[in-house]
Structure 1
Amino acid sequence: MKTRRSSLDVFAQLGSLRRYARSLTRNDADAEDLVQDALVRAYERRSGFRSGGNLRGWLLSILHNTFIDRVRSARAEQQRMDAAAQLADASMEAPQEHSARLAQVRENFLALPEEQRAAIHLVAIEGLAYQEAADALGIPVGTLMSRLGRARAALREMEENPSSRPGHLRIVGGTS
């Protein structure tokens, strides 16, 4: 039985493809990956090859274009990474005074009784309407409003009279 020989004898061109890929990438492993990717592209586009055309030139052209696509992709990725790094550099931790102040606010909030803390959390942090917060807690709206009033008054007292709370931290030179 006679075997049919493909008009695309790619195996005969592997040496040229590998040499050219090594000259482009300057790395054996990257060159092999490049050749493989180029051969996959050539296979996918095999219908575009003109019968009787220059197979070697066609394959080398595909290899070259594959390399250029990789370079562009790497450059674009580097630009994205640089932009992300600039954003990361632009953001900075809050100055020590702000961090200490935030810790004080958190400490005051956590010092509230549980029912007041829950009420103020739902309304002030979660943004629920009074009726929604009351429903979530299973209490009448009037009770919710009473708890909110007591919680706000307690927080104001802690702010105005810091010595009334244990473990008070006073910021020297800043606003207390």
Structure 2
Amino acid sequence: MTEEETIPIEFDEAMFGRNVSTSLLREDIMRCMEMREIGSRQILVYMGYLYKYLKETNRAEYVSFVDPNKIPAAQDGSTSSQHIANQLKASNGDSICLIPYNTGGVRTYLCMRGNPKRPTFKQLTGNLKQQGCVECGYCVMRYMKEIVECEDLQLERKFAGCVKNQYYTQTQYDDVRIEWSEFVYSYLK
């Protein structure tokens, strides 16, 4: 693949409720293959893999996705919070919503629901941690994989038993990198 070539990837419209596509650059692929820091484009592609898995297992209606590339950056978080709130409002209220975004809260969504005091969702905690400085994106992908593969919808039970300061292994990161690579490869055929 040359520096100028791209791999166009189009996602199922049902995944985000609208047409979403991206193009991977050679650099995007090299970052993942060399276990370098990755960004939202690579995470978006992995979300496509997870959605495909959910469709194949007839569980796609249980999970909603928010496109990480469409969460605008704002210094105070207000624009980002509004976008996330809009995505949550459009999602299936009974589904697990994967939002690969580092945010401190979603009060805007709660206010839109008319209930600013009592959360109508749970943020999962207790997942394994990253040990170094480049694993953040891989850690997010691995955590999403564990959520999607869990057939018990009471996810807080699954993650409640995680030991503090327990880390993902390189093998666990490699699992998601392989799945990511196979999904990308399917677009080359």
TM-score, length-scaled by structure 1: 0.21
Larger-gyration structure (1/2): 1
Which has the larger strand fraction? Answer: 2
Higher RCO (C-alpha under 8 Å, 6+ residues apart)? 2
